[in-house]
Structure formats: C-alpha cells, structure tokens
Amino acid sequence: MRSYIKIKGRNLWKLCMLAVLGISLTCCYVLVEKIDQPTTAVAGQTITINLRDSVNTQISTNQSPYPQPSNFVLAFLAPKGWDVADNNNMTVSYTSSLGNGNMQLMPASAIEPNSKLTWAKAATAKFGIGKNLVNDVEWVVFQSSQQYALTNGINITGNIIIKLKVGADGNNTYYFPEYVTCDSFDGYSDDTYWNNGKIYSQDNGPCLLQTGTNGDLHDYCNPQLTSFNPPKSLDNEFITLTYNNKLTPTVLSNTTNVYLCVDSAYLSDGSAITNYCVQAEKSNLVQTTPTSGLFNLTIWPRSYFGLTASQTLTKLVYHITDQTGTKRVGYGGVSGSSSPAFVYKFGCK
C-alpha cells in the first residue's frame, strides 16, 4: 500500500531537487506534486520512496553573488536502529530537467551555515523528531555529488529516488519519515523572500509500519501510556520511566500517587526476579507539575533489583498501580489483575 500526498502553495521542494538557490528570490511558485512512499515494509526489504516536485524561479539579476553554485541537500529522519548511514542501507539518486545524478552522505565535518553545527545536529536542533512521539530517531543528511547554479525564469521538474533498507535492528517499527530539502549555501534558513516562503522545505510522509521480525514493536506514531528514556539501554544505565495519566481514561485517572509494579525482571540465563511489585518510595513516580498528568521515575536497574556481577537484565514486565496496589493499569490502558503488561527490553539497538 502506498500513500500519495498532493499539496499546493507551500514552499516544500523549493529547490525542485536540483534547484539549489544560493541567491535571493523575488518570486517563486512551488508545487509539491507527490510523495510516493510505502506505508508498510518487511524487515530486510529495500523500499523505494519517490519525491516529485516542480519550481519556477524569478531571480533578481542585480543581486550578489549571482549565481551561487551550491549542492542540493536532503535530510532524512529514520529510526536509529536502521543504521541508515552505514552499510549502504540508504542510497539516493535524482533525475531532473537540469540533469541526473547521485547523492552522497554529507561529510561529518561539514557545517550547516546558519547554526554553525554539523548538518545532522542542525537538523535535530531545528526539526527535532518530526511527528514521532519517541526520541529514537536520527537525521541523516545527503548532498548532490554535483553543484548547480540557477538562472532567472526557469521551470524545473525533478524526482528524488530513495532506496531504503529497513529493519536492521531486528525489531518491528512504526514511525513517521520526515524529509527536508535545501541547498548547501542557504542551509536551514528561515529567511523569506516572498509571502510565507522559506529557503528550506519540510514535510513528512505517512506513518510507515515495518514488520517481519520476532522483536518488539517500537511504535513512535501512536501515543503511549508509558515510555522509557532512553528507549534502548543496558541494565547499567540510568533509565527514566514516564507514565501519562491523561492520555486515556483508566482506573488511575484521578490518582496522583502512582507506582511502578514490576511483575518480573528477566535475566540472561532465563530466570526471573519477582517480588518487586511494591508501593514504596523507590517505586513512586513523581508528577512533573501539579496538573501535568506526567509522572517520572528514574532508576539504575542493577541497583534497583540488587543484581550480582554475573547477572544481566534482559526484560522488564510491569504495570502501573495506585498506592494500594489494587488498581492496576497495563498496556493499552487495560485495567485489572489480568491486564496485559507493559514490556521493556534491554539492548543497545
């Protein structure tokens, strides 16, 4: 299944694909014709994403520098575990009325001109994690191998072709891809030369569901009652559990004292630690503000569960309870003693 998006009047592919503008504009009409992106994929599959656009340029010839040669830049948001920048898990090419070519990874030392940060860090600072709800995604930046300089009054059509191998981390993932295009001269500039236009363009595709593994589903599209930061860690790192008590009605909706109830903490040898479903100070989640409905608890798992040097945690199975322990909430907001548990797995990816 593929999703087709047509948007008019937004400055979303200002460069067309090759339309790299390092000079000022007096007018520019931009049409995002289509984002052709699958909504499902299977782990190990290489999917194709096509980005099509067009642009008309009107450039003042008395402005300096004129023209300014520049590379076309594409920043793409992907799950960290997919290793998009490694092992050729993503390649980018293009066709256009100005010519065809390939894109390569932005050099790690290259600096985005506005923020003075590297291009990936600048994208993170400006665009965050897009529409995703979990900070387990990263920006990967590509630039065209060629430089281009535009002239006045040209109509450009182009197509970006992304080949993306999904699921490198062995987990199932549901997330929002995000796309940003700009030129290397202007970068992620907010300067506007006409109406509500911007130098860069930004848009997201539909949520992409990747399945096909025995791993957990990492759902970054839909709101979650509980989450951990970082989303993936080892048992020797501090982790913060967040519980959202306002996301959906539950038996804990009117409760301000909530607790972590660990039903089982599983070890690498297959055994499990129990008796950690307690309502005590060490398991008490604290509300961030008096009315936020967001409750946090930071723990160091090795200390919390009293592990020995030879023991390693692999998974936590847990609920959230009130102070009495009788009101329990599990996955999906289901209440009761038999409600499905939340699960957190330890690991680097």
b/e burial code for range 75-109 (CB count within 10 A of at least 16 → b):
bbbbbbbbbbbeeebbebebbbebeebebebbeee
Compute the distance between CA of residue 256 and CA of residue 26 in angstroms, rounded to an integer: 56
User: For 320-341, what is the mean pLDDT?
Assistant: 86
Q: What is the mean pLDDT of residues 12-22?
A: 38
Mean pLDDT of 287-308: 96
pLDDT digits (tens, 9 = 90+) for 129-175: 999 988 999 999 999 998 877 666 667 677 889 999 999 988 889 99
Q: What is the pTM of this model?
A: 0.69
Q: Given a cut of 70, is residue 9 above it in pLDDT?
A: no
- Spatial distance between the Cα atoms of 164 and 183, rounded to a whole number of angstroms: 22
pLDDT digits (tens, 9 = 90+) for 242-273: 999 998 889 999 899 999 999 999 999 999 99
pLDDT for 192 beyond 80 = no
CATH class of 2-211: mainly beta
**Residues 313/318/321/325 CA torsion (nearest 10 deg):** -80
The residue with tokens 């549901």 is 174
Q: Which two tokens stand for residue 130?
A: 């897009």
pLDDT of residue 6: 39
pLDDT band at 222 (very low <50, low <70, confident <90, very high): confident
The CATH architecture annotation of domain 223-345 reads: Sandwich (2.60)
Domain(s) labelled CATH 2.60.40 in the chain stretch across: 2-211, 223-345
Residue 117 CA to residue 327 CA, distance in Å, equals 48
Please, which residues have CB within 8 angstroms of residue 283's CB and are 6 or more apart in sequence?
259, 260, 261, 276, 297
